[in-house]
Amino acid sequence: MLTDVLIEDDRWQGAGLDALAERAAAATLAHLGLDPAEWEIAVLGCDDARIATLNGDFRDRPAPTNVLSWPSRDRAAPTGGAVPAPPEPGTDPELGDIAIAFETCAREADAAGRSMADHVTHLIVHATLHLLGYDHIRDRDATLMEATEVEILGKLGLPDPY
Q: Where are the domains of the chain?
A: 3-155
Burial class (CB in 10 A: 0-12, 13-18, 19+), 33: exposed
Specify the 3-state DSSP secondary structure of 146.
Answer: helix
pLDDT tens digits, one per residue of 93-115: 999 999 999 999 999 999 999 99
Beta strands in 9-161 (DSSP E): 40-46, 67-71, 94-101
CB 43 within 8 A of CB 124: yes
**pTM, entire model:** 0.97
CATH 3.30.70.1050 for domain 3-155, yes or no, is no
pLDDT at 155 over 90: yes
Interval 18-56: pLDDT, tens: 999 999 999 999 999 999 999 999 999 999 999 999 999
* Residue type at 98 in one-letter notation: I
Following DSSP, what letter does each residue of 79-121 receive, concatenated? STTPPPPPPPTTS--EEEEEEEEHHHHHHHHHHHT--HHHHHH
DSSP state at residue 133: T
